[in-house]
Structure 1
Amino acid sequence: MALLYKADPVRGERWRALFARHAPDIEFRQWPDVGDPAEVRYLLAWEPPSDLATRLPALEVVFATSAGVDQFDLSQLPAGVPLVRMLDPALETGMVEYASFATLWLHRRLYDYVRQQRECQWQAHPLVAAEQRRVGILGLGQLGQAIATRLSGYGFPVSGWSRSPRQLPGITCHAGPDGLKRFLASSDILICVLPLTDATRGILDRDLFALLPAGAALVNIGRGEHLVDDDLLEALASGQLSAAVMDVLSQEPPAPDHPFWQHERILLTPHVAAMTQPESAFPVLLDNLRRHQRGEPMVGRIDRQRGY
């Protein structure tokens, strides 16, 4: 019985050592060294190889190395093979850290102070109390809930929106199309952590920005395809948005002439909000492998109809 790994080869060696130490009954193989395809029961991958059904005829489960699975074409996965997302505690920790940093960066207007430093300008700006800065979390899954809880601890009034109703202590929760407008109207800093689906692709557009309070700010740590780039530039130029922190883009890296690179009100980072760490992710993955071997439900299985 073998597991085939297809992602970053350096981290692959860390995965290999963990399997050798804790699960020697599961042979670890690293792409492209597939060996006998008939022995491969599990695939752990960022992106799967093409023609999975023919390349790996005995495949039983595909495990994503990420919390999101929009990089997978679900229509190309064999019908009877479940897809399971990564539930690494380090991913949650990283996303919470990044969201906290980005919120404070925007709240304290550090984009202005960075510009002033370049211009040798010594000028203070009025400080807004945290309780007067409303933060909205667009997407209240596991990551969104963790971010909301942390940010409320800073004293920000925090609200969240999800497709279906949720309850979270200390957080004002909105749901569905009717709740979206009310949610956006109360979000001075909007943080997107939505999964990418056909329904959410391009959701961060001029129509959504127009529903935010004038001068609101944006953080996108969901997926680059959530954002319409030109609409963000337009909103920043008009003053409808004051600033943005972008960790994900539809094209990564962006072209050298992409306007985000030099925009003084956009902080751009190279998709680093969170990264799967083999040492913290391995216990969760191994638990799911053992669950599958015992015929028990796996945690994090993707609903193909919803895409997450």
Structure 2
Amino acid sequence: MKKVAVLMGGWSAEREVSLDSGRACAAALERCGYEVIPIDVERNIASVLEMMAPDVCFNALHGRYGEDGTVQGVLEVLGIPYTHSGVMASAIAMDKPKAKTLFEAAGLRCAEGRIVTRKEVLDGADYEKPFVIKPLNEGSSVGVTIILDNENRTLQDIPWTFGNEVLIETYIPGREIQVAVMGDQALGAVEIKPLGRFYDYEAKYTAGKAEHLMPAPLPQDRYNEVLQMAVTAHQVLGCKGVSRSDFRLDDLNGDGQGDFYILETNTQPGMTELSLVPEIAAHMGISFEELVRWMVEDASCER
């Protein structure tokens, strides 16, 4: 029987979501017949894993240290196969400006933007509205703020809590489309209609805060186009396992036309009961148990 350590929790801003993902995955893996060891990750994780000696680590961590290449590096050193992407892909995908550079080089359309420092903001820097402010390396929309045309706010009015630099991008109005990739195959696309301003942290993890349209109601050629864009993003970053890419479609006429803009690729997408990858997989006939089993059997080290 394969022994699987499920890494969850940690100390990032996404700790609670990670615990939810980890518990759901641990329960499903037990139903699949694996010997499961749930681990609430602390900074002594290397010594804990040496003591536990699992055959595989299921990485259900989210946010910094869990999906930015840090814990992946620890697992590489220990020689323990792990789910999801490796060190380099995880680090680049988590660094939004670097990921955008690769996306653009691969021909994927990204919103215009630039990095702004705390000092530049204090000195009066601003950006043409509408715009979006993002931390450089957080997930789950943590710290994301949107400033629209009719709002009497500037950069100086935004609480600054995520390091010395932030990414500012032109806001792309339109539809929210998200695509799951498993291996090198796109599983499908879902459209998200949040009840609030955008698909923020609360909408992602609170039932009833967003409507999910699966499959995304797009003309077939546009549906296929966004699936291929997600596969391209997955491959250009060097991802493995499961990923989810987020897009905006500036569909001003509501006919499924307009341009797709890639926002980011998540190398550790959520695995809670409200998460999109399990929902997309289920639509394609893949149960939650089958999904996590595939991820465990796909686990590897890069070296």
After TM superposition, the score normalised by the length of structure 1 is 0.34
Asked which structure has the greater RCO (Cα within 8 Å, sep 6+), the reply is: 2
Which has a greater percent of strand?
A: 2
After TM superposition, the score normalised by the length of structure 2 is 0.35
Higher Rg: 1
